[in-house]
């Protein structure tokens, strides 16, 4: 029973993060190890920065877009 509750808590946490636009680093790492073992895994800081730029813009030009 507690195993199922723990799993449910993990999924609810992931869903909450997705609702506010915050991707789950652990899910990313697991995906990379399983599907792309030949590619390097970004650090948490690199992952967060890349996701933030993908969502809000910025990047090399420095322009930040909204929506």
Q: What digits encode the pLDDT tens for the residues 6-46?
A: 788 777 877 776 666 566 888 899 999 999 999 999 999 99
pLDDT value for 13: 75
In angstroms, rounded to a whole number, what is the distance separating the alpha carbons of residues 66 and 45? Answer: 22
Domain extents in the chain: 23-67
41 versus 1: which is more confidently predicted? 41
Give the CA-trace dihedral at 24, 30, 34, 40, to 10 degrees. 80
Above 80 in pLDDT, residue 60?
no
Phi-psi region for residue 57, left (φ > 0), alpha (ψ -120 to 50) or beta? left
Above 60 in pLDDT, residue 65?
no
Question: What sign does the dihedral 48-26-41-30 (CA atoms) show?
Answer: negative
pLDDT value for 42: 96
pLDDT value for 38: 97
């Amino acid at each position: 029973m507690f195993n199922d509750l723990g799993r449910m808590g993990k999924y609810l946490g992931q869903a909450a993060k997705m609702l506010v636009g915050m991707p789950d680093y652990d899910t990313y790492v697991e995906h990379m190890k399983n599907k792309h073992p030949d590619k390097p895994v970004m650090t948490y800081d690199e992952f967060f920065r890349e996701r933030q730029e993908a969502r809000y813009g910025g990047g090399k030009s420095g322009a930040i877009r909204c929506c």
